[in-house]
Amino acid sequence: MAAKERNGRRPGKLSQDSEQPGRVIGSAVNVAINRGFVVGREVLVGCIPGIVVGYNIASFGRFVGSAYPLVVRTALGVTKCGMDEVSLA
């Protein structure tokens, strides 16, 4: 029986690409800020008014920060939004 070839990775762990998740999320948040979506800014989520209360920095889960960089408070609750879902009020 031949010995296993070791490559420094543990089974079940995903290898990280050169693009780290934090850099991608940081870029998405910076794009949002540069477009005027700063904390305290009034926005519309569809036709529902809201206020930007923060930025989503999650790197895992259903709503990751690279796709949904904005955290918005509306009368219906707090939600994570993508740039295509909101507009400046």
Judge whether 45 lies within some domain: yes
**What is the C-alpha separation between 53 and 88, in angstroms, rounded?**
14
Host domain of residue 62:
41-89
CA distances from 68 to 6, 37, 76 (A): 38, 13, 18
pTM of the model: 0.75
> Domain holding 78: CATH number?
2.30.30
Q: In the chain, how many domains are there?
A: 1
* Distance (Å) of CA 5 to CA 2, 8, 16, 23: 9, 9, 20, 32
pLDDT digits (tens, 9 = 90+) for 6-57: 665 555 444 445 457 678 889 999 999 999 999 999 999 999 999 999 999 9
Q: Has residue 6 been placed in a domain?
A: no
